[in-house]
Structure 1
Amino acid sequence: MPEAEPAERAEPAERAEPPPQPHIQPRPSLFVVHITPELAPVAKVGGLADVVFGLGRELEIRGNHVEIILPKYDCMRYDHIWGLQRIFDDLWVPWYGGAIHCSVYFGFVHGRKCFFIEPHSQDNFFNRGAVYGFHDDIFRFAFFSRAAMEFLWKSGKHPDIIHCHDWQTALVPVYLYEIYQPMGMRHPRVCFTIHNFKHQGVTGAQVLHATGLNRPDYYFHYDRLRDNHNPHAINLMKGGIVYANFVTTVSPRYAMEAKDQGQGFGLEPTLHIHHMKYGGVVNGIDYDVWNPEIDPHIPVHFGVETIEGKYADKKALRDRLLLADNEKPIVSFVGRLDPQKGIELIRHALFYTLGQGGQFVLLGSSPDGAINGYFWGLKRQFNDNPDCHLEIGYNEELAHLVYAGSDIMVVPSRFEPCGLTQLIAMRYGTIPVVREVGGLADTVIDKDFSHRPLNERNGYVFRDYDERGLESALGRAIACYYQYPDHFRELMKNAMRYDYSWNHPGQDYMNIYDYIRDK
């Protein structure tokens, strides 16, 4: 048989070139300036201060240049400011047809670049021993907002985004578009965040004369600053909504409630007119501060896989507050004793918890003397009860231990724009019992009555603002603790796995900034 012809050797195929990759332009970094009345921890009254610090830090992590402008209060925590120095000493801010001389200081607040404005005036705007609570607060912050804009203009700063907060700085976009843009400051866009619609800065025409917005007939137009209900008043928050390029609140649910369910305190028509530039972004919490794995204020660190450490912190909490060491669940409340937070239901939670075989811990105080006095009376009533402790006041170190050592946290708010309490509680494996309102409804998924998968459920929710509603949720939480401890522990782990850092809201705000930059 003849030998077969060898097969012809195939030529090696040419190596295929990879398809051309699309050229993806990296997102350019932005220059963002926050103009704010508060900043944690140097000038903190409420959650606004935490938001500005946390968001500012997240934006910097994402490669943006962030600066923060706030008043130079005499009551600031100067021990948290590094390298404070006067850097601008010739700022003259228009005021009542004249001008007030101001100095500007610069310093770092835990890495944030901050400018502090100090007016030299007989009005003594910011040397009063407190941030708020004075008869001329509207004029104090109207001046501060004008001073911040004048500083940006005189120092040649042209940020991409000016982000202002609440009624105190709501005049910033008004100043920008009515005064500084015609002078040539055409680059910045404004994001205005409303942390609470209840306080709006309603005032008379005098503030227009003071600030240089000297056309009352123009600004008293309904489409600009005139209050929706009082034709003889202007509304600073309304001005912020009208003039800003985008308006946010601190949760999607609260944004809807303010616009459509009567929680806009009279601004509902304005929100409907400007609905295309309006939305909600849930606040984050700083996981460098609120994190049981690294928290310096708790004796034993723990995480999802080492949750047993939480029980050592529970014992430490009992030891510190002289509570009986037993198998009962600890139900807690941490926060302001304010009508917004549900004073009546906080009180009822105390009595109901004790009646259901639990222990109750309260840490908080009220600026209202009558409310404070009432809770002092409760404290005396339960002074010798081994299952109850009321701490009237606020102690940051103790707050960390309460979050770590409690089993259940009640947040029975009348209304709640976002709420940080439930977010912190979940990080520490403490099960939130919340009313279905605002940011509470956006972040807490009921264990028993939700269509979400079991591994996504993280707490207990009730709808009606009454004692029966509270009992419906708190009762289920306590019953689960006693009757189904394995289920309760899984619920704790579910809560701890949620990411309520600034990562997601940081991206949401970057998207908003990009959106208004393109306008």
Structure 2
Amino acid sequence: MKVLSVSSEVFPLIKTGGLADVAGALPIALKRFGIETKTLMPGYPAVMKVIRDPVVRMRFDDLLGEPATVLEVNHEGLDILILDAPAYYDRSGGPYLDATGKDYHDNWRRFAALSLAGAEIAAGLMPGWRPDVVHAHDWQAAMTPVYMRFYPTPELPSILTIHNIAFQGQFSAEIFSGLRLPPQAFSVEALEYYGNIGFLKGGLKTAHAITTVSPSYAGEILTSEFGMGLEGVIASRIEALHGIVNGIDHEVWDPATDAVLQTHYTGATLKNRAANRAAVQEFFGLHDDNAPIFCIISRLTWQKGMDLIAACADEIVAMGGKLAILGSGDPALEGSLLAASARHPGRIGVSIGYNEPMSHLMQAGSDAIIIPSRFEPCGLTQLYGLRYGCVPIVAHTGGLADTVIDANHAALAAKVATGIQFSPVTASGLLQAIRRALHLYTDQKVWTQLQKQGMKSDVSWEKSAERYAALYSSLAPKGK
């Protein structure tokens, strides 16, 4: 079977969040099921800089007003189709934001172009290859099934995965003519959303199947609390909705072989984590003592609960913990966390920015990772924590609730607990979870059991890839 995946970011080429990890890992996991995946993505400067020996597969003289070329490369086991359109993607900022942190004014055109290119490939316009199924990811690729629906050739089956429904790609109705779609596409059964245009909404109405990145999140987005205004649209497609939890790449995330670690280890050699702990303490300027290190690796936003970390930082230190924080986001939250670090030198360390190698080292050297998200479709950092023996302390929501077994009395007695869950997602709820963690940490036998059980968890893509393979097969023409 042949699958075209369309994504705005793919690890290891470019990453701003978990979407890139999924788009990079799922195609590799699907190979064992005989599924050949080509992934279409934009040709950002960071991507064009690292690719080698690209092959021209097709050209567009006028892709929504600009010329573009589709290049094919093989990069670290991934078959990548790069949409090389300098007018859209050759910019000094990030994939979605300019150098000042604002959305590019033409994001609608940039990602409509990506989607239209995907629909053209799906229609068979790229010589020598046509997919059986198209898999689009998030609002940036959600126009792919919309273009497919209104394309003159027969429509292929399509899947849209919602990684975070909070990001919807909503734009003024004034852009409609620039999308080059027929008038009927501006309707409640496609793009129209309260008089404007919704890219994600259009994809939800036109894709043959909808997936979210955890079973719990699939249920949550049917409610007004988590559906972000699209709960009615989701409910109207409930028969097409599937919750499939993400996995992680076991080769990239393996404490026994991870090249960035100071020392490697397994569940049987947890004492070897000590050198990684020392490296984390040195990087963040933390005191070298026996106090537990709680790490945070996150976008610093309200959704991720980072205001709760800022509010609780003083008390976490007072209770005997240390904090190592890596991330970037809301400038006010960055400032609050940096201020907390200044108040508690040696107890709180903050590094503003994205640092992939350090994120690995933090999982290998910290004692626990705190993930206090107000909503979390799946989450990957808790899966990395489980894999690395860094005990997850998570809010009871979405994929966090699906992947971490709370260390309650029954779970501890049965030796199946892998972390700590808390609810409600408030400052007091978080502090109570930290108190529980500190109490468990005092009994190193119990804490070690938590670490070992977490490291036994199956957080690979194997089961999830099998579910995706079954979903593809259910949609694809018979015999594919």
Alignment TM-score, normalising by the size of structure 1: 0.86
Q: Which has the larger radius of gyration?
A: 1
Structural mapping, 1:184-199, within 5 Å = 185-186=154-155, 188-199=156-167
What secondary structure, in the 3-state scheme, does the structure 1 residue paired with 2:165 have? coil
* 1:42–1:77 Cα contact (<8 Å) kept: no
2:251 aligned with 1:251, yes or no?
no
Q: For 1:246 and 1:374, locate their aligned partners in 2 and report how far apart those are by CA, in whole Å.
A: 42
- Could you give the per-residue CA deviations for residues 25-60 of structure 1, whole angstroms, max 9, x where no partner exists? xxxxx1011111111121211111110010011112
Which of 351, 373, 381 is the aligned partner of 1:421? 381
Give % identity: 33
Task: Count residues with an aligned counterpart.
Answer: 469
8 Å contact kept, 1:431–1:492 = yes
- The 3 A distance-change label for structure 1 pair 261 and 498 is farther
8 Å CA contact retained: 1:282, 1:505: yes
Equivalent in the alignment of 2:435 = 475
Inter-partner Cα distance in structure 2 for 1:462 and 1:503: 28
The question of 1:163 aligning with 2:135 is answered yes
Residues 1:135 and 2:97 are matched in the alignment: no
- 2:42 aligned partner: 71
Which of 53, 61, 67 is matched with 1:83 structurally? 53
Q: Is 1:195–1:250's contact at 8 Å kept on the other side of the alignment?
A: yes
Q: 1:316 to 1:205 in 2, by over 3 A?
A: closer
Moved more, 417-426 or 67-76: 67-76
Deviations 1:363-388, CA, capped at 9 Å, x for gaps: 1111x333333333333333xx2222
Q: Distance in 2 between matches of 1:286 and 1:261?
A: 33
The correspondence for 2:170, drawn from 202, 208, 212, is 202
Q: In structure 2, the residue corresponding to 1:114 is in which secondary structure? A: strand
Task: Note if contact 1:93-1:146 (Cα within 8 Å) is conserved in structure 2.
Answer: no
1:341 match: 304
3-state secondary structure, aligned to 2:415: helix
Structure 2 match to 1:457: 417
Deviates more, 1:312-321 or 1:132-141: 312-321
Contact kept? 1:42, 1:78, Cα under 8 Å: no
| Runs of 4+ that moved beyond 6 A | none
In 1: Cα distance, 2:11 partner to 2:48 partner:
9
The 3-state SS of whatever aligns with 1:302 is coil
Q: Please tell me whether residue 511 in structure 1 is matched to residue 439 in structure 2.
A: no
Q: Deviations over 1:113-169 (max 9, x none)?
A: 11111236xxx2111122102121112111221123224432243211110011111
1:466 offset after TM fit, Å?
Answer: 1.3
Structure 2, unaligned stretches of length 5 or more?
98-103
Matches within 5 A, 1:36-435: 36-76=7-47, 78-79=49-50, 81-88=51-58, 90-93=59-62, 95=64, 100-119=66-85, 124-129=87-92, 130-133=94-97, 134-152=104-122, 153-156=124-127, 157-179=129-151, 182-183=152-153, 185-186=154-155, 188-215=156-183, 218-227=184-193, 230=194, 232-366=195-329, 368-382=330-344, 385-435=345-395
User: SS state of the match for residue 428, structure 2?
Assistant: helix
Structure 1: runs of 5+ lacking an equivalent: 1-29
Distance 2:390 2:411 in 1: 22
Deviations along 1:278-305, one digit per CA (max 9) or x if unpaired, are 0211111111111111011111111111
Letter paired with 1:408: A
Cα RMSD for the two superposed structures: 2.0
Name the structure 2 match of 1:490. Answer: 449
Cα distance in 1 for partners of 2:91, 2:283 equals 35
Q: Distance in 2 between matches of 1:213 and 1:322?
A: 56
Cα shift at 1:94: 5.3
- Match of residue 101 from structure 2: none
| Residue-by-residue CA offset, 1:380-439 (whole Å, 9 max, x unaligned) | 333xx2222112222222221111111111100111111111110111111111110111
The residue type paired with residue 189 of structure 1 is P
Q: Matched residues in 2 for 1:158 and 1:467: separation?
A: 52
TM-score of the aligned structures, taking structure 2 as reference length: 0.93
**Alignment partners' CA distance in 1, 2:369 and 2:284:** 17
